[in-house]
Amino acid sequence: MPANLPPEAKAKLAKYSDARTPEEKLRALEEFISAVPKHKGTENLLLWARRRMAELREEIEERKRRRVGGGPRIFVEKQGAAQVVILGPPNSGKSSLLAALTRAKPEVAPWPFTTQRPLPGMLHYEDIQFQLVDTPPLILDDPDNSVNSRVLGLARNADALLLVVGLDEENPASALRRLLALLEDRGIYITRTRGLVRIIKSREVNGIRVRGSGRLVGFTEDDLRRFLAEYRVYNAIVEIEGDVTLDDVEAALYKTLTYKPAVILLNKADAPGARERAHKALRAAPPDVPVLAVSALTREGLDGLGRILFERLGIIRVYTKQPNKEPDPEPLILPRGSTVLDAARRIHSRLAKHFRYAKIWGPSAKYPGQRVGGDHVLEDGDIVEIHAS
């Protein structure tokens, strides 16, 4: 149910989303909270605002710390074909999984809160590598914990997520449910069916333009226009995916909603009673997200992970070559559906600008060395020779 805010509160929210610095945002939120009437319908919004204020304060502090040098750094520079962040409650075996899948040597211990800072390692899959990042545990009983905010910040920046719960614990189904709720609450969605809205304010568009593959459920574009106008949003692109309700639009006004491909790992499949618990946990998972029962200890179930991540990420490998030479062994990593021109652009803007034609070999070629135009759609494993003027 939309919160039905008074115009003043809507104006403050608009001020918040236009603010540039964390300090400005913090101030706007303070004003927003005092303008919001306190009742059932606004509970969630107020909860969000308070939480967001805590995050902003943390951000401001963090920046001060960094200015004086030192202090914990939470971001991990991306390497390889994709960055995959490992998330989960304490003691679920996140670090053990990193150790089993990569050459990294994280600290592993039979008690919770062992990992204090993120640690990367490289997972090999065929001729590419994914960067896995082990993280401090998420505290499911205390969603607003400041460590949670930082770990979720990492998740937001990642290309994909590995969600880990341990089958040795009493109720892994409940742990998984709470983990998914925590992500969803922070606007991190792991399923495409969930309505996803992104509102991109821009003076360059005239009015409200809806685009994307989703559909509006229970309201029309005119309703949307009126609704956004109440929040003083008049010129914007509204990107939609999945089934989008007006509530989703409202959420997108103040939260950044993102989709992250994910794989759920039910770890410690070797533990006593793991099988029954795995069945229950499976029912807590969204239907379109892969779930693997694995063991970091025995390595069971881990072999197929590279392939599954590759597929979930929706990426392809394209090998470029120069005329009369062997293809480059290191592939370009492109989103599925990319064209020859996208590949050219990735190599150099000039190559795309002066593009004439390309020759291709591999899965998308009708015959080896087929001559194609810039709009030819590439497939995983293609070899491309670009000819430009």
Containing 319, the helix (H) or strand (E) segment is strand 315-320
Tokens of 356: 């004439």
Signed CA dihedral, 163, 167, 173, 179: sign only: negative
Rounded to the nearest 10 degrees, the angle between the axes of helix 7-18 and helix 246-254 is: 50
DSSP string, 46-85: HHHHHHHHHHHHHHHHHHHHHHTS-S--------BSEEEE
270 vs 380, beta carbon nearer ligand GTP:
270
94 vs 268, beta carbon nearer Mg ion:
94
Interactions with Mg ion, residue window 114-153 (CB under 5 A): 114-115
Give ∠ CA 244-258-60 in degrees, rounded to 5.
Answer: 130
How many beta carbons lie within 10 A of that of residue 85, not counting itself? 27
Closest CA to 89 of 139, 150, 155: 139
Burial of 266 (0-12, 13-18, 19+ CB in 10 A): buried
Read off the amino acid at residue 36: V
Q: Is 102 in the site for ligand GTP (CB under 6 A)?
A: no
Site string for Mg ion, 36-75 (x = CB under 5 A): ----------------------------------------
Q: What span, in angstroms and rounded, lies between the C-alpha atoms of 292 and 189?
A: 19
Contact residues for 330 (Cβ-Cβ < 8 A; gap 6+): none
Contact residues for 283 (Cβ-Cβ < 8 A; gap 6+): 173
Least distance to ligand GTP, CB of residue 134, Å: 7
111 vs 367, beta carbon nearer Mg ion:
111
Number of residues that bind ligand GTP (CB under 6 A): 23
90 binds, among Mg ion, ligand GTP, none (CB under 5 to 8 A by kind): ligand GTP
Least distance to Mg ion, CB of residue 137, Å: 7
Interactions with ligand GTP, residue window 211-270 (CB under 6 A): 267-268, 270
Question: What is the gyration radius of the CA atoms in the chain, in angstroms?
Answer: 23
Question: Contact region for ligand GTP (CB under 6 A) — 8-16, 90-98, 150-158, 203-211?
Answer: 90-98
43 vs 113, beta carbon nearer ligand GTP:
113
94 vs 186, beta carbon nearer Mg ion:
94
Q: Is 297 in the site for ligand GTP (CB under 6 A)?
A: yes
Least distance to ligand GTP, CB of residue 39, Å: 39
Q: Is 142 in the site for ligand GTP (CB under 6 A)?
A: no
Q: Are 259 and 189 in contact (CB under 8 A)?
A: yes
Interactions with Mg ion, residue window 72-111 (CB under 5 A): 94-95
Least distance to ligand GTP, CB of residue 268, Å: 4
Q: What span, in angstroms and rounded, lies between the C-alpha atoms of 237 and 200?
A: 5
88 vs 121, beta carbon nearer ligand GTP:
88
Q: Are 89 and 179 in contact (CB under 8 A)?
A: yes
Least distance to ligand GTP, CB of residue 165, Å: 10
Interactions with ligand GTP, residue window 330-389 (CB under 6 A): none
The footprint of Mg ion (CB under 5 A) covers 94-95, 114-115
The footprint of ligand GTP (CB under 6 A) covers 88, 90-96, 108-110, 112-115, 137, 267-268, 270-271, 295-297
